[in-house]
Amino acid sequence: MATFDLTRIRAVVFDTDGVVTDTARVHAAAWKHVFDGFLRGRGAASFDIRADYLTHVDGRPRLDGVRTFLASRGISLPEGGPDDEPGAATVHGLGRAKDALFVKAIEQHGVAAFPSTVTLLHELRRRGCRTAAVSASRHCRAIVSSAGLLHLFDVLVDGNEAAELRLAGKPDPALFLEAARRLELPAAEVAIVEDALPGVTAARRGGFGLVVAVDRGGAQAAAMRQAGADVVVGDLADAGVTGRVPVRRR
């Protein structure tokens, strides 16, 4: 069980996709559609919606995901640019195709939040703990807002701000450190909740006071511990909060 001890942890930073909102599966499906279309006829193995997503794409900025996955198949492409046609045989082209599919799916089906995460957020805030949401996705704010959760976060750092500030992507801790800076707290007094290996690695490299990994599929627990997780849970229902009296409301 994960325990957030608020005598030493003053804020909790949550990754968004797969931790706060059930959107990781939507990302994975969009990646599979794009990569399988690109790989067809090239003699390379298709995109495994679980293994390849978790190993090469999950938690990384979109263009890094394109580069890392294609490298696993021994393929390199021209970088291209942000004006490339979606689906063009460039890093930007494939990235734009995936982005378009993801946005379409979210517009059609909406965004669901994990109930256990929402319960934890309410309990943390009831006890006076500050919270933040981070994501490499440029759609993070829209996703959190669509799920009706924006009011539960003091700070939000998304892919748009990461690009503006030139923050390196995970496994670099820059995104998490920026959230801690905005919370005006040292990393040692901040907990990170992540579901992707690059994010767990980033949290440990950043020197954060507690690293909680969420392994919903049950296949990454050992790797997450090796990457630096202090505790691994299957769901945030397996998390408790201690150490600070709940804030009384008049």
- The structure tokens 């909060």 sit at 241
Q: Which of 15, 52, 99, 230 is catalytic?
A: 15
DSSP classification of residue 133: E
What is the b/e burial string over 77-107, where b = at least 16 CB atoms within 10 angstroms of the residue's CB?
beebeeebeeebebbbbbbbbbbebbeebbe
Active site residue 36: no
Q: Which of 17, 64, 84, 158 is catalytic?
A: 17
Q: What is the distance between the alpha carbons of residues 150 and 145, in angstroms, rounded to a whole number?
A: 5
Residue 70: closest CA among 36, 103, 27, 30: 36
Kindly compute the dihedral angle of the four CA atoms of residues 237, 191, 218, 201, in this order, to the nearest 10 degrees: 170
Active site residue 172: no
Strand, coil or helix: what is 194?
A: strand
Q: What is the CA radius of gyration of the chain?
A: 18
Strand, coil or helix: what is 72?
A: helix
Q: What is the distance between the alpha carbons of residues 69 and 223, in angstroms, rounded to a whole number?
A: 19
CA atoms within 13 A on the CB side of 53: 21
Q: What token pair was written down for 199?
A: 């994010």
Report, as residue numbers or ranges, the catalytic residues. 15, 17
